[in-house]
A = this chain, B = another copy of it.
Amino acid sequence: MNDTGLAQIGDTLVNLCYSVAKSLTIGKMVGEKVRDSVLAKAIRSNPIYGQIGRRTDAGAAGDAYEAIMAYLWLTGQTTIEEIITILRGNLVIDDRTSRKREAEAAALAFQKLLETMASRLPKESQ
């Protein structure tokens, strides 16, 4: 999960899926960039975080989240439609939600997404 190119693709994937999920939720087209701190919060809440090596800053943790999603998508273990559906189903915001509150809601939605996806990853070698 330490592949820069994979994380870059995952960054774009996450931004696209979140933008569509948010657009559908608030009823208006918006393009969003998901902050590393949001993805870092989501991945740190999952047991998988203990398996991917010591990571101290939000940037590295966010990159790990992005690489996981890119890996699952590129290997056909999820689809963009599924990611959007899960995010949308767990994203409790409206068009008046503050940025701070939205970041918390987004972290929770990405946490739920990872919980759904984590079992599809290869098991850690013993």
Chain A residues engaging chain B, CB cutoff 8 angstroms: 3-9, 11-13, 15-16, 19-20, 23, 28-32, 70, 74, 80
Contacts and interface: CB of A to CB of B under 8 A. Distances in A.
Nearest to A28: B5
> A interface, by DSSP: helix, strand, loop or mixed?
helix
Contacts of A28: 5
A16 B16 contact: yes
Nearest to A13: B16
Contacts of A74: 20
Identical subunits present? 2
Given A20-B74, A74-B20, A80-B80, A29 B3 contact: yes
A9 B19 contact: yes
Nearest to A15: B12
B16 A8 contact: no
A95 to B, nearest CB: 12
B9 A16 contact: yes
